[in-house]
Structure 1
Amino acid sequence: MKFKIMSESNGRLRIQLLQRYMSYEQADTLFYYVRHLPGVTFAKVSDRTCTLTIKFIGDKWDIVDAIQKFDYERFAAPEEFIANSSRRLNAAYQDKLFIAIAKRLVTVTVTPIPVRVALTIAKSLKYIKAGIKSLVSGKIEVALLDGVAVGVSVLRRDFNTASSVMFLLGVGELLEEWTEKKTTADLAGILSLNISKVWLKKDGTELLVDYNTVKEDDEVVVHLSGVIPFDGVVVSGEAMVNQASMTGESEPVKKEEESTVFAGTVIEEGELTFRVKRTGGNSKFEKIVRMIEETEKLKSGAESSALKLADRLVPYTLAGTGLVYLLTRNVTKALSVLMVDFSCALKLAMPVSVLSAIREASENGITVKGGKFLEAVAAADTIVFDKTGTLTKAEPVVTSVISFEDRGEDELLRIAACLEEHFPHSMANAVVEAARKKGLKHKEMHSKVNYIVAHGISSSIGEKKVVIGSYHFVFEDEGVVVPAGLEEKFDNIPEDSSHLYMAIDGQLSAVICISDPVREEAREVLKKLKELGIRKVVMMTGDNERTAKAVADKIGVDRYYAEVLPEDKARFVEKEKEKGRKVIMVGDGINDSPALSAADCGIAISGGAELAREIADITIVADNLNELVKLKTLSNLLMKRINSNYRKIVGINGGLIGLGVLGVVKPATSALVHNLSTLAIGLSSTTNLME
């Protein structure tokens, strides 16, 4: 690809692509390619100006080189991503808005007055009909208020006021619909891209294939902690499936032969083979649409309060109109009150503010599953971190293997890697990678491997049982002992690393020392979070006291807990909530999922387990804790904007009502200022909070 760099600053590039025209598909394809480059934290492609803006971490020239290698013909974005793109939607709504404004200008400046009157009367019927319908159904809502305002203006032959009110109401509805649909489409595109490869079962063999190549009636295999990629029916296997993201059930559901499984749910235990009944992104897309548009519980408290307040204010506006007329016998003054209602602005500004914040979060690589979670982050005063893969880097490395038997270190590492390769956790990956670097090839020498969440794994080699995992699992649960005469060697194991213990036939065979470096940004991030309103920072880990303390001292948490189980993390979160605290939980593993569910807001690091990402309320794409600072900043600014909108709406509309009652402004002027201010507040609510 040919391009030139227009501007650059620390961690930011603006690039002009050397092509005259860019289709929507090309723009989406380029965006997908760039957004998934290592180090890229933000990307924006403009199809109209053929420009690309990137924010990144790392070496600029790596990014530049990758873009130079890009070619539209050789690279294809997933069909699901292209289908869910909001780019075509934006263009359609921009055209609708342009046409609406153009029609209004033509009507006002060129159309003869008799025709304008006829058009106004015809258009008013829709609003009057909606108002009558609202009244007949016993609902005194905004539709009734709009119908009365338009109807009274028409009856008074004040066609200019009626026409202006209808135009501004129409534009407001168009903007709200546009923002909601765009945000929904953006989120659907992001949330539906978690799966790129699936295990296809064909002729008794499992093949790793592209997600997009699977067809209906194909058989797909999903292993422990994997996401079920399609709707289907189980043909073999047995598993406990977490369906929280689909049905809201807190407990996993047992699935066996003939059971129905749903796309987006996650296997907690066991494995399944199922026949695909529905392919593509539709099932998941529909789930996300329902979640964002229809699920009331995912709306923020402020958003829900605004919508309810809007409807509750309608009767008071009508009553105020009647009271002013009774007291003054002046229709003009009464109409001045009727033309100004708080509900219109409340119903537009608050939802748009929340949806725009969710959209802005997604642009920064932060996926938010509902407005209530941004509000929870803004209100949070306590944050709980998992250690491994969250406060520390997700790529731990093996520093040494200490043998406690006759076999050498390499042979013991080979056995450990053979077991650990079945369960891709960060510690397991470190063992497998260490064996690979040493060129240690390992054939399957063991029976079926069983995984015990947050403890370890067990299997057997020949007639001997082999276990590998934490100290608690190996020594306390399994009753393993240190070989006689090697107690001193065991006591002198290096303390500056985490340990995996492997035992064969009830005796300790090896201790694998693993270094899990602390993230460079961790200490500074915790400091910034406290500046943004977090009062208590807690770290919880399954590691031993020694390792936990070393990490806690480095990053400066307020409290830490070592050797905790998944239920301990969840229990701690619940206790903090009982004390009246608002709690955020940040984690990346299967063992964090109970606490992620229990917290007011669960945040998953994208590189972690699929189960954690599915259960979490917010997912961070970038492998960097600084995104938490962005999230907290965005959430705080959102609440600040909502409060500011309340003040503006009350101030402007309250002032207009007062001026109308005093006779200072006429109904037409009152309606114009009211609607223009409503649109101004609504439009300002669509702008980015952090720019």
Structure 2
Amino acid sequence: MNARESSAACGGHCSVAHEIPGRIRLRSRRLYDPELDVAYLQAVVEALPGVTQARINPRAFSMTVEYDGNPHTRTRVLGVLRDIPAEAYFAGARHAAQASLSGVVTQGVSAVLTPFLPEHIKAPLSWLLGLGTINDGLLTLLTEGVKVEVLDASAVGFSLLRRDYSTANAIVAMLGLGEYLEQWTEQKSNDLLKNLLRPSVEHVWVERDAREVQVPFGSLGVGDIVICGAGELVPVDGTVADGEAALNQSSITGESLPVHVRPGDDVLSGAVVEDGRLKIIARTVGGETSMARIGRFLENSLRSKSSSQTRTDELADRLVPVTFALGLGLFALTRDIRRAASVLTVDYSCAIKLASPVAVKSGMYTAGHCGVLLKGSQALDNLARIDTVVFDKTGTLTRGNLKVTDLIPLTDMDEHELLALAAGAEEHYSHPVARAVVAEAQQRGLTLPPISQVDFIVAHGVSAFVQGEQVLVGSRHFLEDDEGVDCFAAASFARRLRGQGKSLLYVARQGVLAGVIALRDQLRPEAAEALALLKERGIRNIVMLTGDHKDTAQAIAEQLGCIDEVHWELKPDDKADIVRRLQSRGGLLAFAGDGVNDAPALISADVGICMPGGADLAREAAQVVLLEDNLKALAVARDIATHTQHVLRRSFQAAVGINSAVLLLAAAGRLSPVTSAFMHNASTLGILGYAAASGGRKPASVRHVRTQHDSVKGVA
């Protein structure tokens, strides 16, 4: 494809500036749009199959992409620039100049050599170095008012006007180094977060030759009919061919209310089926379908600021006019431009606003390497302040790997027929109980009957048809209270089985109770220690929620210890109600769960926490996803969150204390502009270095969790 064809592929919006096999640099004025989120667009391009890296330089109107050399990949890249997603634009976007290491080194060397250069070289060099800072300051003053860029420009400008080129160049060098360190640290953490987001779908159900079969995700092709049930992630972009469902699209659109879809409606990958069942004709498959999820994740995790960061930034912004007014006031009273320049080189905002995002992103970066994915800085902020943790029992405090222990037929069926009937109805359901029944049937080598018209009733059970006869599988409440099936015949042995800590699954056929299946779950071996670790870290109230019978729930709570409250025989809505009731007492609350029925509680909590093997809907609803199958990772996450808050406080205190001292000395005329600039910028770099180093430090508690770095990528 030649340059003219490339321009046509971009819709005339871009051109090829340079190209070698596997690498292309494109130019487009659309890349300098003031509302374009560069990080978002980079993530969209990097999500394309075959693309390894994308870098955008808005001021040069260019994007450089490294890819596999495939012409189709190249065409997709050009297509993104032709149709940039609307979500890539938002009013808060800003185009900070991309600081390069070579540029920082050049500025530093120039600042060091300035005192030794002849005047006819020193002056033009200094004005050239300071021009970018002055331009930024003027633009900021005209568009946003008095901000830190105006203060920096004033300090550099005053120094240049006084022909104090050493001071001017030192300020420019310090600013460049600080910006480079900030961008480098932020880019490293952003790259990790984007890698952690990769979808974890491995197998999907498709309809082939009028049969439902499970195939590897990678083998999907355009036109395949993909089947998605309740609690499952939609793995492709496509059109609904059959069925109706309520879709949770919060990971794509940000809208928390479910959307009802029916045949003919378009659906996007990343949406989760809350209720119902869909057959979807795949329109796009593979890596392309992950773009919407990645974009939404970036908006939540990389664009957003926590309430602590916002408060700190607002305070820093309010201090800028104070410094600016003091400098101008001193000049008006003393006519001493030297003293005014000394004051203007001091800026609270610089250290405060640089250290805050670096510390937070470093904390998120560290958490990812320690097996905890944090979806945004607010999750990190809230984790440090929670005082109550609510656990759903199944799959969180227990392994969630239920085992069938008893099969009790109540009709003319034998045990194998009862198990095959239940497993056939449960085969497409992702709940731990369903997985246990299906696994037991597979272990016994049973042939499952053909099932049709499957309907999942979240947290209750399954309704399906076998050879025209309705089969119900679920809790006693579902069969007896909701469906009118008489379960009295199972009452006596049901009490005995529950007394042994077992859960019961009732099976009915054509309105008659066909039998009962008993299952047992095991506590996680680390659960008791994990709860004790949380207590040590200031968690005052630990609550356990379960749909189990009272006797089973209390027995498990006694085994665990550290449980302050237990609530049993709960429905999904009950869990969310209890979370809201606990929140009304004051303080902040975290909820940990992993099932489809936990989503309302995960959303209601201040911090929603999902286990690594959780249902897709639970992982989408949670703000924190554990990447290690170990509850003690919660203690690590708490340590990282509290340590990050400590780093933020120390950075703020240091910035205010040091800069106040320098400002007072400068106002008193005790410091020259060179000394003032040096002390201010040195302290800023010191605080920034502290925030980066301390924020990225792994807590001592990480030794409790075996972290496997290679297993982190691709598990979000």
State if a TM-score over 0.5 links the two structures. yes
Deviation at 1:302, TM superposition (A): 1.2
Contact kept, 8 Å, 1:620 with 1:627, in 2: the verdict is yes
Contact kept, 8 Å, 2:302 with 2:376, in 1: the verdict is no
Identity of counterpart residues, as a percentage?
37
Task: State the match for 2:319 in structure 1.
Answer: 313
Q: Structure 2 vs 1, CA of residues 80 and 531 (structure 1 numbering), >3 Å: closer, same or farther?
A: farther
Q: Distance in 2 between matches of 1:207 and 1:503?
A: 26
Q: Distance in 2 between matches of 1:214 and 1:112?
A: 66
Matched, 1:432 2:401: no
Task: State the match for 2:458 in structure 1.
Answer: 453
Q: Distance in 1 between matches of 2:247 and 2:295?
A: 20
Q: Distance in 1 between matches of 2:445 and 2:210?
A: 30
Contact kept, 8 Å, 1:606 with 1:619, in 2: the verdict is yes
Deviation at 1:449, TM superposition (A): 2.1
Contact kept, 8 Å, 2:252 with 2:292, in 1: the verdict is no
Task: State the match for 1:682 in structure 2.
Answer: 688
Contact kept, 8 Å, 1:231 with 1:283, in 2: the verdict is no
Match of 2:509 among 504, 509, 514: 504
Aligned pairs for 1:168-567 (under 5 A) are 168-199=174-205, 208-212=214-218, 214=220, 220-269=226-275, 270-277=277-284, 280=288, 281-294=290-303, 298-444=304-450, 446-462=451-467, 464-482=469-487, 488-496=492-500, 497-556=502-561, 557-567=563-573
Contact kept, 8 Å, 2:201 with 2:235, in 1: the verdict is yes
Task: State the match for 1:656 in structure 2.
Answer: 662
Range that drifts further, 250-259 or 381-390: 250-259
Residue identity in the other structure for 1:617: Q
Deviation at 1:199, TM superposition (A): 4.6
Q: Distance in 1 between matches of 2:113 and 2:507?
A: 85
Match of 1:100 among 97, 104, 111: 104
Q: Distance in 2 between matches of 1:439 and 1:126?
A: 73
SS in 1 for 2:518: strand
1:205-232 CA-partner distances (Å, limit 9, x unpaired): 6665554555666654433322123444
Residue identity in the other structure for 1:689: R
Q: Structure 2 vs 1, CA of residues 487 and 595 (structure 1 numbering), >3 Å: closer, same or farther?
A: closer
Contact kept, 8 Å, 2:389 with 2:539, in 1: the verdict is yes
Q: Distance in 1 between matches of 2:536 and 2:645?
A: 17
Task: State the match for 1:83 in structure 2.
Answer: 52
Match of 2:152 among 146, 149, 153: 146
Deviation at 1:640, TM superposition (A): 0.9
1:600-620 CA-partner distances (Å, limit 9, x unpaired): 111111101011001111111
Aligned pairs for 1:9-24 (under 5 A) are none
Q: Distance in 2 between matches of 1:464 and 1:144?
A: 76
Q: Structure 2 vs 1, CA of residues 85 and 454 (structure 1 numbering), >3 Å: closer, same or farther?
A: farther
Matched, 1:600 2:598: no
SS in 2 for 1:686: helix
Contact kept, 8 Å, 2:367 with 2:373, in 1: the verdict is yes
Q: Structure 2 vs 1, CA of residues 94 and 527 (structure 1 numbering), >3 Å: closer, same or farther?
A: farther
Residue identity in the other structure for 1:260: D
Q: Structure 2 vs 1, CA of residues 84 and 606 (structure 1 numbering), >3 Å: closer, same or farther?
A: farther
Deviation at 1:464, TM superposition (A): 4.5
Contact kept, 8 Å, 2:221 with 2:282, in 1: the verdict is no
Residue identity in the other structure for 1:526: L
Q: Structure 2 vs 1, CA of residues 581 and 471 (structure 1 numbering), >3 Å: closer, same or farther?
A: farther
Residue identity in the other structure for 1:318: F
Contact kept, 8 Å, 1:566 with 1:592, in 2: the verdict is yes
Contact kept, 8 Å, 1:232 with 1:274, in 2: the verdict is yes
SS in 1 for 2:244: strand
Q: Distance in 1 between matches of 2:513 and 2:217?
A: 43
Q: Distance in 1 between matches of 2:236 and 2:421?
A: 35
Match of 1:131 among 137, 148, 152: 137
Q: Distance in 2 between matches of 1:636 and 1:618?
A: 15
SS in 2 for 1:517: coil
Residue identity in the other structure for 1:519: R
Q: Structure 2 vs 1, CA of residues 182 and 232 (structure 1 numbering), >3 Å: closer, same or farther?
A: farther
Contact kept, 8 Å, 1:107 with 1:116, in 2: the verdict is no
Deviation at 1:177, TM superposition (A): 2.0
Q: Structure 2 vs 1, CA of residues 434 and 179 (structure 1 numbering), >3 Å: closer, same or farther?
A: same
Deviation at 1:374, TM superposition (A): 0.8
Q: Distance in 2 between matches of 1:398 and 1:579?
A: 40
How many positions carry a matched residue from both structures?
Answer: 606
Deviation at 1:168, TM superposition (A): 1.1
Range that drifts further, 491-500 or 508-517: 491-500
Deviation at 1:405, TM superposition (A): 2.8
SS in 2 for 1:116: helix
SS in 2 for 1:83: strand
SS in 1 for 2:570: coil
Deviation at 1:597, TM superposition (A): 0.6
Q: Structure 2 vs 1, CA of residues 328 and 426 (structure 1 numbering), >3 Å: closer, same or farther?
A: same
Deviation at 1:420, TM superposition (A): 1.6
Deviation at 1:97, TM superposition (A): 2.5
Q: Distance in 2 between matches of 1:176 and 1:461?
A: 62
Q: Structure 2 vs 1, CA of residues 213 and 183 (structure 1 numbering), >3 Å: closer, same or farther?
A: farther
Q: Distance in 2 between matches of 1:494 and 1:225?
A: 28
Contact kept, 8 Å, 1:220 with 1:276, in 2: the verdict is no
